[in-house]
Structure 1
Amino acid sequence: MDMRKIKHLFSRFQNIIDDEISLMDDRGYVIDSSNPEKVGDYDTVCSFIEIDNEILSMNDKLYYSIHTNYGNVLIISINGNRVENRRLLQLIALFLSENLNNMTKEDFFKGVIQKEFNHDEIRELSSKFDLEFDSMANAIVIRLSEEIIDEAYSVITSMYPEEILIRLNSNTLIFIEIINSDHDYEDLEQSIYDTIFSELLYEANIGVGVVAQNLSYLHESYEKAKLLIELGIRFTDSKKIYYYNDLLLPILIDNIDESKLKEILDCTNSNVKSMLLDKELFLTSTKFLENNLNISDTARKLYVHRNTLIYRLNKIQNITGLDLRSLNDAIKFNILMVGYKFLKMNSSD
């Protein structure tokens, strides 16, 4: 259940009603109240009397229940058994019911990725929206600028009118891909990127989450995709679409304690750290690794002569003691370079 939304709606009434008003679950647990001291306590009335479809008066206090579309019961109470409070209680209940039950499929998926529903609620709501709970799904996170997000939303929805596209905030869209559905798309994320670039002349950053085995794990796919964008922007210069397998090294380093990582790097005899300060050699090493240690391909991508590239590789070897033409040395170099880059970026945050 989206408790944040419920509390936000409920808070609107707390400042305009003089009498104490509280919101509880069906056990009487006080979720929110105009009296902060009551939050977290239990109202014992709710534990032994069923409150359903009518206003109940007990001990000069009024109670009224709300049934949500996802099977939960909420109870509102207000102090003071007066006619005006009875009317207020019914109005508040009506307002909350209409807002809580007017859920769209987009609202549902947004709640799933933000962990606003539990496992059982997701299963129940899936059937409401004609979704298979056990469907495998993937979250594709699209990071844009605030200036073009509206246009990008329109472009993507016109391309895929039957799919779910969520506007998460002012610079993030999330495309929900249901795997093995009636609408399977090849190279989906590349197609989204190319369309945004061709239509809006903007290079979006796109993180492709891992496939969730059912809808209740979709939030993990979203979290992975979000992490990929953060690491991809930091550690890759030429790519704008980020996959988990392509960023394994930054992911591993991101999970190492920073002090431990610094200790490991300090124990090496290499001078890789200085490479980060030399833009020409840093670009050369990055492109050489990206092109699988292929001299001809790297020279062509850098627009330099083959002999110029070899000269630079020799210079890198003289500085660091690592020959990037050797696979073992290239692996060591890459690990050290990513590690130092990680520490450098963290220190400048």
Structure 2
Amino acid sequence: MDIQKIKSFVKGLQDITCKEICLLDATGYVFFSTNSSRVGDYDDVLDFNYGQDFFFEREHRLYCTYNSTHPHKYFISLEGTDDEAKRIGKVIKLFLSIDDTSNSRDYFIKGLLSNAISDTSLDIQCQKHGISVNGQVQVILIEVLDSLAQEVEEIVLALYPDELLVKIKDNFFVFIKEVTEKEPYLVGSLLFDTILSELLYEAKIAIGITIDNIRDWHKSYKLAEEFMHLGKAFFPKKNIYCYDNLAIPMIINKISEDDLQEIIKHLDCNIQELFDNHELITTAFTLIKYNLNITDTSKHLFVHRNTLIYRLNKIQDITGYDLRVFQDAMLFYIIANAYQYIINTAKCT
């Protein structure tokens, strides 16, 4: 069962009991509690061999094990062993024993993303789960290490507690964000920067197109999946992928690898020789990034203007393309991306 669902359930129990309830991992670390001062403590009682018991008492507390979407064992700890505590314990046990996957919001969202929800039940399901049918949203795909999934989940929900987050695979989350910012792609940078600062880990993030209706969420999701695949193939050193930086790769992806090889061979621009020279290929891509502006490119590369011009002349000697000319720069960029795609695809196979 999903950890966030357990947390929501525990929060709800505060309305019917004043007893302290904690969530612990297998080491006894308290990572959530109705008593916020307990978070960060350790419960030493879990040092004993608890065996396979689902429900047990130790040192004036009740403990209940549960299975989450993560590979480790977790526990719910309930203050007291009196009749009230045992009644609450039975409620917890019943809740954890019920397989309500078919009725869960996560299951509904996964159905939307796979376009498996019928129009006849859509409005009813949206009302049941508190999801708006209309409104601009983006589907964002986040890839992380499976071992960091729980921490990433908590980080994202702390940043955006009112948005939707669903774990769809061991190392993939789908984040559905209402589009309110003038620059919708800023959310990708915020997610990446926060995960990096908290976990020292560089997540991969793919941002789908903006959608106006819930019936089209699957379109944004499918594009986010494609962006993730293409981004890792064309730009493996980058971490945030969206339509703006993948337009040309999407076109190249429609061409078969054999045809791409034939095009590169026909143009005969010695592209491999240029890729073997890190300084020159970096200069080429940087010039294109800065719109063929010599001054901006030299500043970014920390080189003198004359040094940059010297490099561009060398690139022209090797490839035959003068990157200061728009038509040559555009054709070179397409060829370079096609070559990079072939190389990176070969590495993955």
CA gap of 1:230–1:186, structure 2 versus 1, over 3 A, is: closer
> How many Å separate the matches in 2 of 1:186 and 1:344?
28
For 2:308, the aligned partner's letter is L
The TM-score, its normalising length taken from structure 2, stands at: 0.65
Could you tell me how far apart the structure 1 residues matched to 2:174 and 2:256 are?
30
Q: Is the 8 A contact 1:115 1:219 kept in 2?
A: yes
1:273 and 1:337 in contact (8 A); partners too: no
Counterpart position of 1:281: 280
Q: CA deviation at 1:101?
A: 6.6
Amino acid at match of 2:311: R
Per-residue deviation, 1:179:
4.0
Whichever residue aligns with residue 299 of structure 1, its letter is: S
Q: Give the equivalent residue in structure 1 for 2:177.
A: 177
* Superposed structure 1 runs of 4+ greater than 6 Å apart: none
Other structure's SS at 1:224 match = helix
Q: How does 1:1-349 map to 2 (within 5 A)?
A: 99=99, 103-179=103-179, 187-236=186-235, 239-348=238-347, 349=349
Listed as ranges, the gaps of 5+ residues in structure 2 are: 1-97
Report the Cα offset of residue 102 of structure 1.
5.6
Kindly provide the amino acid, as one letter, of the partner of residue 156 in structure 2: I
Percent identical among aligned pairs is: 33
Question: Shift of the alpha carbon at 1:213?
Answer: 3.2
Give the distance between the partners of 1:311 and 1:239, measured in 2 at CA: 28
Residue identity matched to 2:266:
C
* CA shift digits 1:315-343 (9 cap, x unpaired): 11000110111111100100111112222
Q: 1:140·1:209 contact (CA, 8 Å) conserved in 2?
A: yes
Partner SS, residue 136 of structure 1: strand
Contact in 2 for aligned 1:112/1:122 (Cα 8 Å): no
Q: Gaps spanning 5+ residues in structure 1: where? A: 1-97
Q: Which moved more, 1:220-229 or 1:116-125?
A: 116-125
Q: Measure how far apart 1:129 and its partner are.
A: 1.8
1: CA distance between counterparts of 2:235 and 2:224?
15
Q: Distance in 2 between matches of 1:101 and 1:145?
A: 25
Partner of 2:140, secondary structure, is strand
C-alpha separation in 1, matches of 2:305 and 2:277: 20
**Residues 136 and 120 (structure 1 numbering): CA distance in 2 closer, same or farther, change over 3 Å?**
farther
SS in 1 for 2:286: helix
Cα distance in structure 1, aligned partners of 2:322 and 2:132: 53
| 1:244 CA displacement | 0.6
Query: Is the 1:138–1:211 Cα contact (8 Å) retained in structure 2?
Result: yes
Change over 3 Å in CA distance of 1:185–1:241 after alignment to 2: closer
On the 8 A contact 2:101/2:107 being kept in 1, the answer is no
Q: 1:262 to 1:150 in 2, by over 3 A?
A: same
Summarize deviations over 1:161-206 as a string: whole Å, max 9, x none: 111111122221211113469xx98832222122112222222221
Secondary structure, aligned partner of 1:210: strand
Measured after TM superposition, the shift of residue 105 of structure 1 is: 2.2
2:185, 2:207 within 8 Å by CA — same for their partners in 1?
A: no
Give, in angstroms, the shift of residue 299 of structure 1. Answer: 2.6
User: For each residue in 1:194-221, what CA deviation from the matched residue of structure 2 results, as whole angstroms up to 9, or x when unmatched?
Assistant: 2112222222221110122321221221
Q: Distance in 1 between matches of 2:343 and 2:269?
A: 17
Letter in structure 1 aligned against 2:178: I
What corresponds to 1:75 in structure 2? none
**CA deviation after TM superposition for structure 1 residue 100, in Å:** 5.2
> How many angstroms apart in 2 are the aligned matches of 1:270 and 1:324?
13
Task: Give the residue type in structure 2 aligned to 1:252.
Answer: I
Do 2:188 and 2:240's aligned partners in 1 also have CA atoms closer than 8 Å?
A: yes
Distance 1:261-1:101 versus aligned 2 partners, 3 A rule:
closer
| Conserved 8 A contact 2:167-2:173 | yes
User: In the alignment, which residue of structure 1 is the partner of 2:32?
Assistant: none
Instruction: Decide whether the 8 Å contact of 2:312 with 2:322 is kept in 1.
Output: yes
The 1-side partners of 2:304 and 2:102 are apart by 64
Superposed CA deviations along residues 138-161 of structure 1, whole A, max 9, x for unmatched, are: 201111122322111111111211
TM-aligned CA distance change 1:102 to 1:238, over 3 Å: closer
Cα drift, residue 309 of structure 1: 2.1
Q: Which amino acid is 1:210 matched to? A: I
Higher-Rg member (1/2): 1
TM-score of the two chains, using structure 1 as the length reference = 0.65
Which residue identity lines up with residue 247 of structure 1 in the other structure? Answer: L
Secondary structure of the residue aligned to 1:166 is: strand
Aligned residues: 250
Query: Are 1:207 and 1:242, in contact at CA under 8 Å, matched by a contact in 2?
Result: yes
State the AA in 2 paired with 1:177.
K
